[in-house]
Amino acid sequence: MVYRFLALTLLCYNLSLAQQTFIYKPFVDIDYKSIKVNSVEKMMRNVEKELKKFEFVLNVNSDESFFYQSEVLSDESKNLQIIKVAEAMSYSNEEWFYDADKPHLILSTNVMNNPFSVKFDELPDWEIKNDTKRIGNYKVVKATTSRKFIGSKGVKEKEIEAWFCPDIPVPHGPMGAVGLPGLVIQLRLQNTIFTLDQVIEEDSLEIDEPDKSNTMSSKEFYTLIDQKVGDFKSSIQN
């Protein structure tokens, strides 16, 4: 009888995790002391204020998840440059679909005004550390891995940092930070930090897998982008 009760309790707990929406808020860690130009500092402080309006959504339906930025109400009085910088620093043009059962990870993004659908055949290779801390009510564990980033000098690989919660045993997270033995509560990508802000229980949640007809591999994508950045730099110099 005890074993049946424990099994039923575990089943109900897992079902409660099956359909949920997790809301993340972005924050940019800016070293203002290193900024020597007043106009740049003013701009970055306005970017920081703009980011407080941003929300990112992680929909989780059992094995599948979809991460994207929720729609922001437009304000025509706002400086478009501030908005564009805030969008760039929070990777707003990226949407991530993950299927833990298959498994595969798909990125939908836009680079240089060109849409791309990118399939990652290999999941992040996490190194779980011994570091623990509390973020809000969650006890979390640190994990690190490397990821490719697109910058003015092309594609560079850099370390990213995730803090996941083993007490929420789902392998999902923001910005393609998946495959860990617990929900990612906080993720740091360079100077940008995404932190779980709210959890919404869902009665029903549909997640549509992206169309893979025009999907390229991650290797093809980063090679192409590296070439495009190089061509763009050459065109400016000539």
Residue 76 or 68, more confident: 68
Residue 8 pLDDT class (50, 70, 90 cuts): very low
Residue 41 pLDDT class (50, 70, 90 cuts): very high
Q: How far apart are CA 83 and CA 147, in angstroms?
A: 25
Q: How far apart are CA 159 and CA 164, in angstroms?
A: 16
pLDDT surpasses 90 at 57: yes
What average pLDDT does range 213-221 have in this prediction? Answer: 90
The β-bridge partners of 133 are 140
Tell me the whole-structure pTM to 2 decimals: 0.86
Mean pLDDT of the chain: 87
CB neighbour list of residue 67: distance below 8 Å, 6 or more residues apart: 56, 57, 58, 59, 95, 96, 97, 98, 173, 174, 175, 176
pLDDT surpasses 80 at 74: no
Nearest CA to 89 out of 123, 118, 50, 63 is that of: 50
pLDDT surpasses 70 at 6: no
pLDDT of residue 189: 96
pLDDT of residue 152: 78
pLDDT of residue 122: 85
What average pLDDT does range 194-199 have in this prediction? Answer: 97
Q: What is the separation of C-alpha 34 from the centre of its chain, rounded to a whole number of angstroms?
A: 27
pLDDT surpasses 90 at 205: no
pLDDT surpasses 90 at 219: yes
3-state secondary structure of 135: strand
Contact 205, 62 (CB under 8 A): no
What digits encode the pLDDT tens for the residues 179-195? 999 999 999 999 999 99
What digits encode the pLDDT tens for the residues 126-171? 999 999 999 999 999 999 999 999 887 889 999 999 999 999 999 9
